[in-house]
A and B are shown apart, each in its own frame.
Chain A
Amino acid sequence: MDKPFAITLDAGSSLANKTGSWRTERPLYLNSLPPCNDACPAGENIQGWLYEAEEGQYQRAWQLLVADNPFPAIMGRVCYHPCQTACNRAQLDQPVGINSVERFLGDVALQEGWQLPVEAVDSGKRVLVVGAGPSGLSAAYHLRRAGHHVVIHDAGPKSGGMMRFGIPSYRLPRDILDAEIQRILDAGVELHLDSPVTDVMAAKAEGGFDAVFVAVGAQVGKRAYVPAGESAKILDAVSLLRDMEGQQAPRLGRRVVVYGGGNTAMDAARTAKRLGAEEAIVVYRRTRDRMPAHDVEVQEALEEGVLIRWLSTIKDVDAGSMTVERMELDDSGFPQPTGEFEELEADSLVLALGQDTDLSLMQDVDGIEISDGVVHVDEGMMTGAEGIFAGGDMVPSERTVTVAVGHGKQAARNIDGWLRGIPFEHAPRPPLATFDRLNTWYYTDAPKTVRPTLDSARRVSTFDEVKQGLDEQTAVYEARRCLSCGNCFGCDNCFGVCPDNAVLKLPRGSAEGDNGRDYAFDLDYCKGCGICVSECPSGAIIMIPEA
């Protein structure tokens, strides 16, 4: 060594001291799965599009969103947002108002006239989609994006399925619905209305289709047997909501009873109020906590003056009145009759007891298995018959618009794989970004923006949209509340806290670091202390043992 006594390093720099040699563990940037993305039935990359939205990049945010779901404006109105239930921010203050931001992006896209991109090369394959509901339209869109020629057949006079004939316009205005469907058609999807498919195999052969996706939904209102006098007025909720789309509004009378406890029951009761009923009473055999209707819907119904009788069943109905029996929950939570009866004055009874499917179009097809009114499909959403796929309300699952949209996407990917002879495979799921992996110190406290709601006195009389959208400023604020769970958002914290300057900042957007991040570790100097891991707000760095 040519240095003077006791001097090991040149003055002015300690770079010769490679502290990386002390290391037994090393940090790694890792993208893990945010709980919102994990919970989304349509498989949206929510964290990803919130990140773009918070930067004001609305079009990029929207493009990322529609890569998974072509209906942001509809979702922003009707989705029950399981993403918000799963949101880690709920453990800090309140969940991010994801649904409001989605609606904002959806509405901006409609105002600006942004179109859905179709870039794939024509595959030369033809796919028939039966049913123009959320599932069928979603499948058609994704198949079109994959380069296939898609033809939709729907039995009804208008497209949208349950989005039109099951969801009242005060929740989903029809101009929004029409515009988002039209955008799919503009992308090159062919739609035939009033053209029911009665035999799926025949339709496939006739049209020269290579594959079929069946998504005819569950549109038949269940008719439980209730003893009724001749002049009693009984109708089912599905028909009621469907008739709302016709020329003549249905007549229900002054006092309307709705039987059932699901979302459709709430929609029917709220619709009855808007049609002029002085009283709309929901009769449900169990208690509120056991009600299948979503909390927001029950809440909004109650605010509008809908009455709910818990623990009650309807024994019989006559003109102008009906008999109700009080129930009691037994030890296992099942309602049991008590023998106590009561008269209830009512002009009509609306049954909202669930929906059945009409699957006659595929009843006799070899290999297709139908039981309990639903069609069985494999993991790739294919029925027992080669090339016949199915999804939405007609296969076993939760029946919501978002689930149906997710089915459409899943089916499209699998159909595409099947057509190309390369079976579709899910990308491996990264680990879940749980709350305990975050360092919440770095997030300032900011409660959720509440969407303005139409005054309840005004909303019972109109079919105007109840929930209004957020303005741009609040939408951006809301997007900024996202904790970016499990994904680097470029905050520079690791860069700042590293005691060895071993975090290198690469040009923004260069994505040359680990797992596509804009940072990298200089392993000559990283001594594996783990401070970057502890201080990463979003839990996007992990320690791994040195090989």
Chain B
Amino acid sequence: MHSLFGNAAAVATGVFAAMRAKGRDTRVVAQAGDGGTVDIGLGPLSGMFERNDDVLFICYDNEAYMNTGVQRSGATPPAARTATTQAVGEHPGNVFGQGKDLPRIAMAHEIPYVATATVADLRDLEAKVEKAMAIRGARYIHVLVPCPLGWGSASKDTILLARLAQQSGLFPVFEAEFGEVTAVLPIRRRVPVTEYLQPQKRYAHLFGQTPDTETIERIQAQADRNLSRYHIDEVEI
């Protein structure tokens, strides 16, 4: 069923309730972008979590409103340039300290299953979807999907960037059950955040003639914080 922008969770909840009323055991999966999930759709989604409706909700996070022309969403990371967070003068693109970390918001609802994943590890993603489908109640999977157009990156680097997001620590890949982190994908080859940021034009203003080391350091600090917050291991190879 193709719903409207922002009401996927509401529609999914309705479908689930209707099927239950009819005595049918139909599994329901809802999918939406980050804008539709963390901003406009957040109310119904939070309600769906609270009621623990038997729905798997999958968010494809490309970190902005892409199909309307790259506007900032609540999932846009700090310092990223979007059409509504231009990097001009002293403004560094999207501001620090705002935005919503939806996997953590989902965890705060203490639903049975929350997981993050990226398109760089398809077997991991597949395993998480399978696991989610074996569980009843509200489940949430948040998938990082680079957007070549919106990020200003080469199409061929799409998987590479998703991988670097995880390997730099900026995007933690984990699973949580009933509000507790239960598994974390380790980092195999740790890279500094610059390796992830530099190939993206939305961060080009950080790498001008005089690199904006202060901002880069703040982003690096976020990655470092994820490592301790999620106890991400670095695997020695």
The answer to whether A531 and B158 touch across the interface, beta carbons within 8 angstroms, is yes
- Shortest C-beta distance, B85 to chain A (Å), equals 26
A11 to B156, CA, bound (A): 29
Q: Which of A11, A445, A496, A529 contacts B158 (CB 8 A)?
A: A529
Q: B21 at the A/B interface (Cβ < 8 Å)? A: no
Q: B88 at the A/B interface (Cβ < 8 Å)? A: no
Query: Which residues from chain A contact B122 at a C-beta distance below 8 Å?
Result: 496-497
- Shortest C-beta distance, B211 to chain A (Å), equals 26
Please encode chain A, from 510 to 534, with 1 for each CB lying within 8 Å of some chain B CB and 0 for all others: 0000000000000000000111011
Q: B163 at the A/B interface (Cβ < 8 Å)? A: yes
- Pick the most buried of A11, A531, A533: most chain B CB atoms within 10 A of its CB: A531
Q: Which of A441, A445, A496, A530 contacts B156 (CB 8 A)?
A: A530
- Shortest C-beta distance, A470 to chain B (Å), equals 24
Q: Which of B2, B159, B237 contacts A497 (CB 8 A)?
A: B159
Which residue of chain B has its CB nearest to the CB of A12?
A: B2
Query: Which residues from chain B contact A496 at a C-beta distance below 8 Å?
Result: 122
Query: Which residues from chain A contact B237 at a C-beta distance below 8 Å?
Result: 445
Known: A11-B2, A496-B122, A497-B122. A534 touches B156 (CB 8 A): yes
A534 to B119, CA, bound (A): 14
Top 4 closest pairs, chain A to chain B, by CB: A530-B156, A529-B155, A534-B156, A445-B237
Q: A304 at the A/B interface (Cβ < 8 Å)? A: no
Which residue of chain B has its CB nearest to the CB of A441?
A: B163
Interface size class of B (residues with CB under 8 A): 10 to 19
The answer to whether B157 and A534 touch across the interface, beta carbons within 8 angstroms, is yes
Known: A441-B163, A497-B122. A531 touches B2 (CB 8 A): no
Please encode chain B, from 151 to 168, with 1 for each CB lying within 8 Å of some chain A CB and 0 for all others: 000111111100100000
Query: Which residues from chain A contact B163 at a C-beta distance below 8 Å?
Result: 441
Please encode chain B, from 41 to 58, with 1 for each CB lying within 8 Å of some chain A CB and 0 for all others: 000000000000000000
Q: A417 at the A/B interface (Cβ < 8 Å)? A: no
- Shortest C-beta distance, A148 to chain B (Å), equals 52
A531 to B156, CA, bound (A): 4
A535 to B119, CA, bound (A): 12
Known: A11-B2, A497-B122, A534-B160. 9 other contacts (CB 8 A): A441-B163, A496-B122, A497-B159, A529-B148, A530-B155, A531-B156, A533-B156, A534-B159, A535-B159
The 23 sampled A-B contact pairs (Cβ below 8 Å) are: A11-B2, A441-B163, A441-B189, A445-B237, A496-B122, A497-B119, A497-B122, A499-B158, A529-B148, A529-B155, A529-B156, A529-B158, A530-B155, A530-B156, A531-B155, A531-B156, A531-B158, A533-B156, A534-B156, A534-B159, A534-B160, A535-B159, A535-B160
- Shortest C-beta distance, A354 to chain B (Å), equals 45
Which residue of chain A has its CB nearest to the CB of B189?
A: A441
A10 to B220, CA, bound (A): 45
Query: Which residues from chain A contact B158 at a C-beta distance below 8 Å?
Result: 499, 529, 531
- Shortest C-beta distance, A324 to chain B (Å), equals 49
- Shortest C-beta distance, B129 to chain A (Å), equals 14
Give A contacts to B, CB under 8 Å.
11, 441, 445, 496-497, 499, 529-531, 533-535
Docked complex: B175-210 residues within 8 A CB-CB of A: 189
A533 to B157, CA, bound (A): 10
- Shortest C-beta distance, A4 to chain B (Å), equals 13
Which residue of chain A has its CB nearest to the CB of B236?
A: A445
A535 to B155, CA, bound (A): 12
Which residue of chain A has its CB nearest to the CB of B160?
A: A534
Docked complex: B108-163 residues within 8 A CB-CB of A: 119, 122, 148, 154-160, 163
Query: Which residues from chain B contact A535 at a C-beta distance below 8 Å?
Result: 159-160
A496 to B148, CA, bound (A): 18
- Pick the most buried of B122, B156, B163: most chain A CB atoms within 10 A of its CB: B156
Query: Which residues from chain B contact A534 at a C-beta distance below 8 Å?
Result: 156-157, 159-160
Which residue of chain A has its CB nearest to the CB of B126?
A: A496
A11 to B3, CA, bound (A): 12
- Pick the most buried of B155, B159, B163: most chain A CB atoms within 10 A of its CB: B159
Which residue of chain A has its CB nearest to the CB of B155?
A: A529
Query: Which residues from chain A contact B156 at a C-beta distance below 8 Å?
Result: 529-531, 533-534
Query: Which residues from chain B contact A445 at a C-beta distance below 8 Å?
Result: 237
A445 to B119, CA, bound (A): 22
Query: Which residues from chain B contact A531 at a C-beta distance below 8 Å?
Result: 155-156, 158-159
Which residue of chain B has its CB nearest to the CB of A529?
A: B155
A441 to B187, CA, bound (A): 12
A402 to B236, CA, bound (A): 39
Query: Which residues from chain A contact B148 at a C-beta distance below 8 Å?
Result: 529
Which residue of chain B has its CB nearest to the CB of A93?
A: B237
- Shortest C-beta distance, B96 to chain A (Å), equals 31
A436 to B81, CA, bound (A): 32
Query: Which residues from chain B contact A529 at a C-beta distance below 8 Å?
Result: 148, 155-156, 158
A529 to B237, CA, bound (A): 31
A533 to B154, CA, bound (A): 13
- Shortest C-beta distance, A436 to chain B (Å), equals 15
A441 to B148, CA, bound (A): 21
A499 to B122, CA, bound (A): 12
- Shortest C-beta distance, B166 to chain A (Å), equals 11
A497 to B119, CA, bound (A): 8
A535 to B178, CA, bound (A): 35
A496 to B126, CA, bound (A): 11
Query: Which residues from chain B contact A497 at a C-beta distance below 8 Å?
Result: 119, 122, 159
Which residue of chain B has its CB nearest to the CB of A497?
A: B159
- Pick the most buried of B2, B154, B158: most chain A CB atoms within 10 A of its CB: B158
A530 to B160, CA, bound (A): 12
Query: Which residues from chain A contact B119 at a C-beta distance below 8 Å?
Result: 497
A293 to B237, CA, bound (A): 34
- Shortest C-beta distance, B125 to chain A (Å), equals 10
A499 to B2, CA, bound (A): 20
A76 to B55, CA, bound (A): 59
- Shortest C-beta distance, B69 to chain A (Å), equals 18
Please encode chain B, from 72 to 85, with 1 for each CB lying within 8 Å of some chain A CB and 0 for all others: 00000000000000
A529 to B157, CA, bound (A): 9
A216 to B140, CA, bound (A): 76
- Shortest C-beta distance, B116 to chain A (Å), equals 19
A364 to B148, CA, bound (A): 74
- Shortest C-beta distance, A497 to chain B (Å), equals 6
A529 to B158, CA, bound (A): 9
Which residue of chain A has its CB nearest to the CB of B148?
A: A529
A119 to B154, CA, bound (A): 53
Which residue of chain B has its CB nearest to the CB of A535?
A: B159
- Shortest C-beta distance, A11 to chain B (Å), equals 6
A65 to B2, CA, bound (A): 57
- Shortest C-beta distance, A123 to chain B (Å), equals 52
A497 to B162, CA, bound (A): 12
Which residue of chain B has its CB nearest to the CB of A492?
A: B122
- Shortest C-beta distance, A181 to chain B (Å), equals 45
